[in-house]
Amino acid sequence: MHPLLDALLSQHRDMARLIGLLERQPSLEPDPDAPHVGLLVDVLVYLTHFPDVSHHPLEDRIAERLRTRGALAADLCQELEAQHARLAQQGPDLLRDMEGAMRRETVPLELVALNSRLYAERLRHNIAFEELVLIPQAAKSLDEADWQAIAATYAPAADPLFSGEVDQRFERLRRAIATQADCGC
């Protein structure tokens, strides 16, 4: 398997940990000032930045290359792009709504809790779609020239949470993941 596909699969595992963490957190109710709220915000900030800026664009490039070569149906390519667009819109909307709910200004807390579960489910669905459709087809159909063409148009961003150097903003989140995994890392 090409190293870019290995990297995507590794990032999927990392995102799945965050999705699990998001799903296991208590609701924002009854206390939007509870300590876990900051963790929820950190998960959403990460998920709306690194995957939307680096991970999904790479998958879109791979899908487009597959479509161009006739190895991926246009409707599957469009579905993947639509999933990424939906996630890129829903994540920031959810962050905005969470902020408003915590200030008791706009959206009810229970709606934000439901939307965070929906967002997590859409992320899980997107990962499953890619691992069932995109990645196997790319591993089978793309050659070294394809990978060089994809890499030439892709500038990977450093992962601020799961790379060797954790961004200070995500240190608390990294500790929560380590505690959850009971790995001491």
Residue 56 covered by a domain: yes
Number of compact structural domains in the chain: 1
pLDDT tens column, 19-52 = 887 777 655 554 555 566 777 888 888 988 899 8
CB 111 within 8 A of CB 97: yes
Q: What pLDDT is stored for residue 21 in this prediction?
A: 79
pTM, two decimal places:
0.88
Q: What pLDDT is stored for residue 27 in this prediction?
A: 58
- pLDDT band for position 149 (50/70/90)? very high
Residue 182 covered by a domain: no
Q: Among positive and negative, which fits the CA dihedral 98, 39, 25, 53?
A: positive
Total residue length of the chain: 185
pLDDT tens column, 85-100 = 999 999 999 888 888 8
Residue 68 covered by a domain: yes
Average pLDDT of the chain?
86
CB 175 within 8 A of CB 64: no
Cα(114)–Cα(30) distance, rounded to whole angstroms? 14
Cα(56)–Cα(61) distance, rounded to whole angstroms? 9
Q: Among positive and negative, which fits the CA dihedral 97, 119, 32, 109?
A: positive
- Whether residue 143 is predicted with pLDDT greater than 70 in this model: the reply is yes
Kindly report the CATH number assigned to the domain that includes residue 37: 1.20.120.520
Q: What pLDDT is stored for residue 42 in this prediction?
A: 86
- pLDDT band for position 82 (50/70/90)? very high
Q: Looking at residue 112, what DSSP letter applies?
A: H
Q: What pLDDT is stored for residue 36 in this prediction?
A: 66
- pLDDT band for position 184 (50/70/90)? very low
Q: Looking at residue 59, what DSSP letter applies?
A: H
Q: Tokens for 52?
A: 């939307």
CB 97 within 8 A of CB 112: yes
Cα(86)–Cα(106) distance, rounded to whole angstroms? 22
Residue 166 covered by a domain: no
Q: Domain range spanning residue 102?
A: 16-23+33-155
